[in-house]
Amino acid sequence: MNEPTGVDNEGAGASGLGEGLQRELGLATGAEPEPPPEVGSGILRVFGRQLKRFRVRAGLERPEFASMVGYSVSTIAAYEQGRRIPPPRLIDQADEVLDAGGVLLEMKEEVAKAQYPAFFRDAARLEAEAVELHVYANQAVPGLLQTEEYARAVFGMMRPPLDEDAIAQRVAARLARQEVFAKRPAPLMSFVIDESVLRRPIGGRGVLRGQIEQILLAGQRCTVEIQVMPLDSEENAGLAGPFTLLETAEGRRIAYVEVQNVSHVHTERRLVKGLEVKYGILRAQALTPQASLNYVEKLLGER
């Protein structure tokens, strides 16, 4: 899933599924989209108040606590005021240092959900649980392959613009998704990436070079296959836009598509099968995995 992406508009999204199936998959129900979370509201404010309460109870001033957990005073203040999303490591440290008895840890999962924009939360959970992931990208490098610098450039170009805290939050969330590569057993992954993506200097030439190097490293993993759709190809079945296919441990096959912060999680077999067929054609039209890595190395030499 590579927010922001294009969309393949071939049917109802999560909001159009039957409520029973949505609940079975753990997806949000209801026709109205969930509003995006506001920094400083909801679970972040609750966590911040509890963090401050336990710090005060422990008799620690903010600078002393900040030093103990390895964060700046201003960052701790932002967490306590609900203005920034605390990383899992900080929550673990705070619960132990402040002797919170697991109270802060109990909020860890809900706090983690707040790091994603509302439209992407269901997809992020499904992605983390998938045993197979297959991605077609023709606008930007897939989020699972992005470097920190590239991701920051992508979010920095959003309009209306995001503020610095929101950009930092989105970048951290995107990098956290890449922990899926460390799972054991690792999910099987494949990526078909349009050559235009590899030539578009998002963030500048230096950022693009680092990004291409990361793609090469990812392609050397035994559970990852990367293919390039060359610009001079006369056939391309993916002109309708990017999409992601997932398979869960239970054998469910799911498709995810998105455009302009409107996402669709497809579970209807007819719709998912159509995208599976399309992806198979794309793989046949693209360069082979080995030829693709050779081609990416050639692009790297041009930088």
Look at residue 127 in the predicted model and tell me its pLDDT: 87
Look at residue 170 in the predicted model and tell me its pLDDT: 87
Look at residue 1 in the predicted model and tell me its pLDDT: 61
Look at residue 27 in the predicted model and tell me its pLDDT: 52
Task: Judge if pTM exceeds 0.85.
Answer: no
Look at residue 133 in the predicted model and tell me its pLDDT: 97
Look at residue 41 in the predicted model and tell me its pLDDT: 55
Look at residue 66 in the predicted model and tell me its pLDDT: 96
Look at residue 2 in the predicted model and tell me its pLDDT: 53
- CA 206 vs. chain centroid, Å, equals 23
**CA separation (Å) from 262 to 86, 90, 104, 131, 169?**
26, 32, 32, 25, 20
The owner of tokens 């030539």 is 199
> How far apart, in whole angstroms, are the C-alpha atoms of residue 115 and residue 99?
25
User: For each of the chain's 303 residues, which pLDDT tens digit applies?
Assistant: 655 433 333 333 343 344 444 444 545 433 333 344 444 458 889 999 999 999 999 999 999 999 999 999 999 999 999 888 888 889 999 999 999 999 999 998 788 777 676 667 777 778 888 999 999 999 999 999 999 999 999 999 999 999 888 898 889 888 888 989 988 999 999 999 999 999 999 999 999 999 999 999 999 999 999 999 999 999 999 999 999 999 999 999 999 998 877 778 899 999 999 999 999 999 999 999 999 999 999 999 887
CA atoms lying within 13 Å on the CB side of residue 21 = 13
Closest alpha carbon to 34 in 119, 101, 98, 111: 119
